[in-house]
Amino acid sequence: MKMKKKQAWVLFLIMAIAAGLLLMGCGDQDKEAEGKTVIEMVQYKPEAVNVFAEFEKEFNETHDDIYLKIDSPNDAMAILKTRFIREDNPDIIGIGGDINYSNFLDAEMLMDISDFDGLADIKENYLQMNKDLEYVPQDGVYAVPYMANAAGILYNRDMFKKHGWKVPTTWDELIALCKQIESKGILPMYFGFKDSWTTLAPWNAIAVDLCEPDLTYQVNSGETKFSEHYAEVAEKEKELLAFAQKNPVAQGYNGACTAFARGESAMYVIGNYAIPQIRSVSPDMNIGSFVFPASNDAEKNILNSGNDLMFCVMDTCENKEAAYEVLSYMLSDESVSKYLADQSAVPCKEGDFPIVPELTEMSKYIENGLVADYQDHHYPSEMAVDALIQTYLLDNSANATEKFMKKFDTEWVRYNKDILAKVKAYEEGEASHE
Amino acid sequence: MNKKHTWSKNEKVFLGLLIPILILFFCFNTLPLIKGFYYGLTNFRGYGNYDFVGLRNFIEVFQDSRVGKSYLFTFKYAIVMTIAVNVISLILALGLNSKIRGKNALRGIYFVPNILGGLVVGYIFSFIFTYILPAIGEAAGISFLSNSILGSTTWAWVAIVIVGAWQGIAMNTIIYISGLQTVPEDVYEAGMLDGSTGWRKFKDITLPLIMPFITINLVLCMKNAMMVFDQIMALTKGGPSQSTESISYLIYNNGMSGGQFGFQSANAFIFFIVIVAISIFQTTILGKKEEQL
Amino acid sequence: MSKATINEGAVGGRTANRIINILLVIGCLTVAFPLYMTVIIAFKKPSEMTNDVAGALGFPSSWSFSNFAEAMEVTDFWHSLGNSLLLTGATVIICVILHSLAGYLIGRKMARIKAFKAFYLYLISGMFVPFAVLMMPLVKQTAEIGIANRFGVIVLYVVFFMPMNVMLYSGYLSNIPTALDEASHVDGAGVWQTFWKIIFPNMKPMHATVAVLTAMSTWNDVMTPLVIMSGTDENTLPLAQLNFQTQFGTNYNLAFASYLLALLPILIFYVICQKQIINGVVNGAVK
């Protein structure tokens, strides 16, 4: 009896392992890749997982010598950095034009791709945005901008039409509009601040109207302080809370998208990247968008647009030609159009791509280049500015803004210590050369 | 036996078999600990090249408000958790140890939360906190409940305590039950003759006898609570406003994906020292208490 | 219940016991409710989820398994289950053999030889080292020697559980008389044979405890596979829930079907081996 019990245990464990091995055997992709050059891409936009799956399929059907493998993981930046720590680099990374790019570039992890033909078709101002992200100026090009986003305010076109509301062009008009909407018993805005990153959407959209685009550079070289510029941005974002649901941190990004999609609010301060998510809830919604009017001078209000998705080839990539082939495929007019249709984005490639219907109100800005990059693309991620803003928005004390600004300035110095030193060393080096 | 031990053949074989195991342990336990200290001396981002910055990181750990907040949160969580879990599970154990129907079935059911994974349980409770409780609050007109407590900087940590306790109580209850079963019945009978009943009986007879089990449970519960990670990953991801970042979560989040590999290595090393200090403190204090009783 | 006046517990009286009984049954609801909710939501369609309590907690209009089929597809269920089984099974087998050996080697000699006592204390001190402390260097290290994969995760588990298990085994050793070793030695058996033929079978009760504790910790662990294997397409069951959160989006029905699938294997295992599991946990804690 006792012996039996023990045998049962051993048998159970062996069965577990056997079952494990058996189950893992199924679903192997390796066969397809046999004898081909494998290019592995990790891209960071999980909402675009479907269109990238299509790209992967189509690319592999049309190429006999290259096998493309695309990963679109959840929380991709964390996974990507974990892989970098493990030195298990993919060949191509699809990332945003933000501080991560600056860091990867600074760590000399990216390949200079200035000899890639496709660069000639990319709009100049998006290439320039990447130059601005370099801590110290570098030679060469390290990323192909693919898609830009446009952040401002999304609105429910049908609802606006029904009540005869007009798109505002100045801050005062926006506030008046909110009051008007409220008087009809409709919630003007909805926020998903439980996901702290969404606090940056209004923040960036307001900041591009009120601050200089090279503000961080000015701060890093000691010319000014953030507190002199951001106080107004902070206060204006806080003012919006009065026009949103009672507890702005009760819902996350998904929840806010769902609420807006169900017509619970007339507007939603977020970027175009939220459109697919909203469509997944109500596919036929008539969504419009306009530039955030943070200034009372309508001329000063410009579109908040940055590199939302760009491709970098890793320095460790062994098959540069194959990687370029993948990039060329991604940049073909067909692929770009396919992406645009799926994700309602703004292409970085020159060409006759129609502006997606949701963004028609912004076309004037896109075509004339009245755009400025996100301020948060320069913030170090470990400083967690989004959480600082979230804390500030929930802080109801009288000197909240003052406290927040003071904190912003001190934290900035602390988290950018190494960068500040680098910039200083570079500038001194430049000076001594002259 | 003299000080110098002469090794017999048999003992040499023992040593020979043991050494590979010790080497394995050294390579994946002690070595990474030393390496962690080494990384703590650098400004390493986890990738690319890095410089030595001396003890800067170790000093800054004490100045960093985010690290400070995560320590406060972790301690607050661990202490509240330990007290709540132990009080509830002791009561539960007393109940489950009395003469009741379906005792075994009830014990079996109460143990279920312990076998489930913290992450999935966290996701399930996340739904309860975000949708069910506010809906109940709305229907019953309780304004406190009608907002999700996960969205509140003052209350989100309570949600994590609730989930942690839901799982922790199961474990501690079972241990208390086995403790109560070691209390012999004749001890009670003797107590009955003295006329002690209810609370007095519990305090004077039961409590001293199960003291070792209380020690075990306090230590176990505290230890688990200090490591809290899965629940935070599932419920709040450290938010809102970084109010629920545990030390483990901060090390993972900023060290692995935030580019603070060096700095968080320093933080981790200090965390290790804190854990050692707490463990020594606990064993000495509780050890003494046990002797007194 | 003939001796109703003399009570087993600390609180007395027959009516009191009735009340306790009722309270405990009601208390079970706190355990049952989240599980009930999981099952109910997993079977519903997204359109049945309304914003009130009834919408979330009422019975589904029809019990359909389509959510489960979709969840299996989305989270690559069988593959993840396979990984979980493999990691847990291999870890348990290695732990039981290796740690009982270590426990034997140390436990038999530490009373007389100082070096072994020192080894014992060295191994036990590993209990003070939380995984979070070792995480970052371990990620680097496993990658450097090329075991940032399932094998590496198993190695890490074996080392991580070593302090606890060695303590349990060497503590249990006092129940096995040294006369057995000596008899075996006289018969001409070496140290390994003595261990494998005599000691290992005699440690059986402790094997059950170690196996249960190790298996439960391994099965439910998220952090180790998260940092060691993320981005390699290899998931364990809990890790899959984390990695596929975005794919679930706002479709809670799909998500809950997936959660339920992730919980089922251990629940089934618990129903079958409830006694061993509870005994194992208690033994592990009390010893």
Region class of A412: left (phi > 0), else alpha (psi between -120 and 50), else beta: alpha
| Residues A398 and A408 placed together within one structural domain of the fold | yes
A264 plus A384 within the same structural domain: yes
Six token digits for residue A331: 């940049």
Mean pLDDT of A41-50: 87
- Rounded CA-CA distance A16/C88 in Å is 8
DSSP-derived letter for residue A354 is P
Instruction: Give the closest of B48, B148, B259 to A381, CB-based.
Output: B259
Cα separation, A318 vs A316, in Å, equals 6
Using the beta-carbon criterion (under 8 Å), do B272 and C128 form an inter-chain contact? yes
Is the domain of A79 the same as that of A67? yes
Looking at the structure, do residues C187 and C281 belong to the same domain, yes or no? yes
C34: preceding bond cis by omega (within 30 degrees): no
Mean pLDDT of A203-225: 89
CATH of the domain at A402: 3.40.190.10
Q: How many domains does chain A have?
A: 2
A83/B contact by beta carbon, under 8 A: no
Residue C106 to residue B200: CA distance in whole angstroms: 46
Share the mean pLDDT of chain A.
87
Residue C148 placed within a domain: yes
Same domain, C103 and C32: no
- Structure tokens, A193: 């601040």
Q: Which neighbouring-strand residues pair with A372?
A: A304
Task: Among C156, C246, C261, pick the best mutation site for testing chain A contact (most A Cβ within 10 A).
Answer: C246
Q: Give the pairing of strands A265-271 and A187-189.
A: parallel
Task: Confirm whether A23 is domain-assigned.
Answer: no
ipTM value:
0.88
Question: Which residue of B lies nearest to C259 if distances are taken between CA atoms?
Answer: B120
pLDDT at A334 over 50: yes
Mark A219-257 as b/e (b = at least 16 C-beta within 10 Å): bbeeeebbbebbbbbbebbbebbebbbebbbbbbbbbbb
Please tell me whether residues C251 and C166 are part of one structural domain: yes
Q: Does residue B73 belong to any structural domain of this protein?
A: yes
Question: Could you tell me if C101 and C234 lie in one domain?
Answer: yes
Read off the pTM.
Answer: 0.83
Find, among B84, B280, B285, B276, the residue nearest to B173 by Cα: B84
Tokens of A169: 């062009």
Query: Residue A177: what pLDDT?
Result: 95
Confidence of residue C7 (pLDDT cuts 50, 70, 90): very low
pLDDT at C76 over 70: yes
- Is residue B44 domain-resident? no
One domain for residues A235 and A291 = yes
pLDDT at A26 over 70: no
Q: How many domains are contained in chain C?
A: 2
**Residues comprising chain C, all counted:** 287
Measured at the CA of A386, the angle between CA A381 and CA A392, to 5 degrees, comes to 140
Domain boundary among A354, A388, A415: A354
**Torsion, Cα of B189, B193, B195, B199 (10° steps):** -20
In angstroms, what separates the C-alpha of B91 from chain A's closest C-alpha? Answer: 34
Mutate to test the interface with A, among C85, C142, C242 (most CBs of A within 10 A): C85
In a domain, B225, yes or no: yes
pLDDT digits (tens, 9 = 90+) for C160-194: 999 999 999 999 998 888 888 888 888 888 888 89
The reported pLDDT for the residue numbered A311 is: 95
What is the mean pLDDT of the segment spanning A362-370? 86
Q: Judge whether C6 lies within some domain.
A: no
Specify the pLDDT at position B194.
Answer: 64
Are A73 and C243 within 8 A, CB to CB?
Answer: yes
A314 phi and psi angles, rounded to 5 deg: -75, 150
**Final residue belonging to a domain, choices A354, A384, A412:** A354
Flag whether C50 is in a domain.
Answer: yes
Q: Is residue B218 part of a domain?
A: yes
Record: contact C79-A74, CB cut-off 8 A: no
Is B15 a domain residue?
no
> Into how many domains does chain B fold?
1
Query: Would you give the distance in Å from CA B142 to the centre of its chain?
Result: 32
One domain, residues C56 and C92: no
Q: What is the arithmetic mean of pLDDT over A134-139? A: 85
A41 in Cβ contact with A69 (< 8 Å): yes
Closest CA to A78 of C256, B238, B72: B238
- Is residue B38 one of the residues assigned to a domain? no
Contact C148 A88 (CB under 8 A): yes
Rounded Cα–Cα distance for residues A189 and A200 (Å): 15
- Residues of the domain holding A106: 36-149+307-354
In a shared domain, residues C211 and C95: yes
Residues A314 and A294 in one domain: no
Is C204 found in the same domain as C137? yes
Q: Domain check: are A221 and A79 in the same one? A: no
Q: Is residue B161 part of a domain?
A: yes
A220, A285: one domain: yes
The answer for A 96-125 residues in CB contact with B (under 8 A) is 103-104, 106-109
Helix (H, G, I), strand (E, B) or coil at A153: strand
Q: Are residues A158 and A277 in the same domain?
A: yes
Q: What sign has the CA pseudo-torsion C100, C102, C108, C110?
A: negative
Could you tell me if B45 lies within 8 Å of chain A, comparing CB atoms?
yes
Q: Does a structural domain hold residue C7?
A: no
Cα dihedral: A229, A233, A235, A239 (round 10): 160
HSE of B59, CA atoms in CB hemisphere, 13 A? 5
Within a domain: A16: no
B268/C contact by beta carbon, under 8 A: yes
Residues A45 and A132 in one domain: yes
Least confident of A368-382, C4-18, C35-49: C4-18
**Residues C32, C170 within the same domain:** no
- Count contacts between A and C (CB, < 8 Å): 100
pLDDT above 90: percentage of residues in chain A? 45
pLDDT of res. B220: 86
- Domain of residue B242, CATH code: 1.10.3720.10
- Same domain as A195, residue A88: no
Q: In this predicted model, what pLDDT tens digit does every residue of B26-60 receive, in sequence order?
A: 999 999 999 999 999 998 888 888 889 889 999 98
Those residues of chain B that have pLDDT short of 50 are 1-2, 293
- Within 8 A by CB and 6+ apart from C54, the residues are none
Same structural domain, A71 and A144:
yes
Answer whether B156 touches A (CB < 8 Å): no
By Cβ distance, the residue of B47, B147, B241 closest to A109 is B47
Residue span of the structural domain in which C22 resides: 14-64
Structural domain contains residue C1:
no
Residue A366 pLDDT grade (very low, low, confident, very high; cuts 50, 70, 90): confident
pLDDT in tens, A287-310: 999 999 999 998 899 999 989 899
Domain that holds residue B223: 51-292
Side-chain-side CA neighbours of residue C48 (13 Å): 18
Residues C125 and C213 in one domain: yes
pLDDT at C247 over 60: yes
Burial (CB count within 10 angstroms: exposed 0-12, middle 13-18, buried 19+), residue B219: middle
Pair A89, A155 in one domain: no
Per DSSP, B6 falls in state P
DSSP-assigned states of every residue in C123-150: HHHGGG--HHHHHHHHHHHHHHTT--SH
Residue B265 lies inside a defined structural domain of this protein: yes
pLDDT of residue C18: 83
With respect to residue C259, please indicate whether it lies within any of the assigned structural domains.
Answer: yes
For A247-288, what is each residue's pLDDT tens digit?
A: 888 888 888 998 999 999 999 999 988 888 888 888 889 999
